């Protein structure tokens, strides 16, 4: 089946640090990738939609200069949280979708903790 790998699974770092999270589709080409954020006991909140070779589309309220998304190839998208602060601590999850009537497949998430 379709596999999406997300790395790292856990990050703990100091306030002011920038953190990069990678999302890879291992056995299919992902035309579209999505980035979500999830707080404890809550549902997933869509942050942005990324299509290969074009700029990401951010949801309302998500700062594009804070959360930099790059989708340089059909198998890799990255999310960089710039100058992270404690309020950015959360569970970040990516998903990837092959073109056509295929469902999204999710990575296992990245737990980001900013001290």
Partner 1 sequence: LAKTTQPISMDSYEGQEVNITCSHNNIATNDYITWYQQFPSQGPRFIIQGYKTKVTNEVASLFIPADRKSSTLSLPRVSLSDTAVYYCLVGDFDSSASKIIFGSGTRLSIRP
Q: Which residues bind partner 1 (CB under 8 A)?
A: 4, 6, 31-32, 34, 36, 43-46, 49, 51, 57, 59, 91, 93-95, 97, 99-109, 111
Please, what is the minimum distance in Å from the beta carbon of residue 14 to partner 1? 23
Q: Torsion angle, CA of 111/83/34/5, rounded to 10 degrees?
A: -50
| Residue 87: strand, helix, or coil | helix
CB 32, CB 97: distance < 8 Å: yes
Output the smallest distance, CB 86 to partner 1, in A.
Answer: 19
Name the residue among 33, 20, 25, 37 with its Cα closest to residue 78. Answer: 20
| Beta carbon nearer to partner 1, 19 or 93 | 93
C-beta of 73 vs 102, nearer to partner 1: 102
């Amino acid at each position: 089946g379709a596999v999406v790998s997300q790395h790292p699974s856990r990050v703990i770092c100091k306030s002011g640090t920038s953190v990069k999270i990678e999302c890879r589709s291992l056995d299919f080409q992902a035309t579209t990738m999505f980035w979500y954020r999830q707080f404890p006991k809550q549902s997933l909140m869509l942050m942005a939609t990324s299509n290969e070779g074009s700029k990401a589309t951010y949801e309302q309220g998500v700062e594009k200069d804070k959360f930099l998304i790059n989708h340089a190839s059909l198998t890799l998208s990255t999310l960089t949280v710039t100058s992270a602060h404690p309020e950015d601590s959360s569970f970040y999850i990516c998903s990837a979708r092959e073109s056509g009537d295929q469902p999204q497949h999710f990575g296992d998430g990245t737990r980001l903790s900013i001290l």
